Amino acid sequence: MTAAERTPGAPRRRGRRPGGADTRATLLEAARAEFAERGYEGATVRVIAERAGVDPAMVNHWFGGKETLFTAALDMPLDPKALIADLLPGDPDGLGERIVLRFLTIWDHTGGGRRLAALVRSVASHDVAARMMRQFVGMFVRRVVSSVAPDQVELRSALCASQLVGLGMVRYVLELEPLASADHPTVVAAIAPTMQRYLTGSLG
């Protein structure tokens, strides 16, 4: 429900609810609405907590902060800060390889297929999810790409996203062989050079 849709004069949930089994779900719902309306930068933990009718401390309790809340709201099984801290150090020419390997590790180990299929359905069905996914790429992918890209950071980010999304679709959702069950070294050898060119190579 957006502010505009709220009936004028209708009571707004302001009471603090105790942290409990449904607090996490309520927070996620409020976060999705708030991120969709205001974007990642505009949304605040305070307003999301207020919208959910819980204490802001609950956000840190359940999610550790705004970034993790955002990826949880997208149902992405990752911690952006940890991910960036893992990926960036090291040879810039090996970043493509590190990204592909990390992508495979994350999705292989978290029931990739069903979870990714749900995410894809959501992105293809709802503007809110598509907008959140654009924000995700705009923030996290862009942050990783800009650490090594010599120019055209936006285009390089979108290109990296295109190959990762396509790999996810083919391996986990379509389950197209031999990519669906290929081992990590095979997939990395084939796809890492593509990622590396999108990161640091010539785009033509």
Minimum CB separation from a second copy for residue 80, in Å? 18
Q: Establish how many alpha carbons lie within 13 A of residue 42's alpha carbon, considering only the half-sphere containing its beta carbon.
A: 10
- Contact between 190 and a second copy by CB under 8 A: the answer reads yes
DSSP string, 14-47: -SPBPP-TTHHHHHHHHHHHHHHHHHHHH--HHH
Minimum CB separation from a second copy for residue 127, in Å? 10
Q: Which residue has the tokens 């069905």?
A: 125
- Closest of 98, 70, 63, 64 to residue 83, by C-alpha: 98
DSSP β-bridge partners for residue 17: 54
As to burial, measured by CB atoms within 10 angstroms (0-12 exposed, 13-18 middle, 19+ buried), residue 4 is: exposed
Which of 71, 194, 196, 199 touches a second copy (CB under 8 A)? 194
DSSP β-bridge partners for residue 54: 17
Minimum CB separation from a second copy for residue 101, in Å? 13
Minimum CB separation from a second copy for residue 98, in Å? 15
Are 104 and 188 in contact by the 8 Å Cβ rule? The answer is yes
Q: Which of residues 22-81 bind a second copy (CB under 8 A)?
A: none
Q: What Rg value do the Cα atoms of the chain yield, rounded? A: 19
Contact string (CB under 8 A) for a second copy, positions 114-133, x = contact: ---xx-xx-xxx----x--x
Contact string (CB under 8 A) for a second copy, positions 142-181, x = contact: ------------xx--xx-xxxxxxx-xxx-xxxxxxx--
> Total binding residues for a second copy by CB under 8 A?
45
Binding positions for a second copy, rule: CB under 8 A: 117-118, 120-121, 123-125, 130, 133-134, 137, 154-155, 158-159, 161-167, 169-171, 173-179, 182, 186, 188-194, 197-198, 203-204
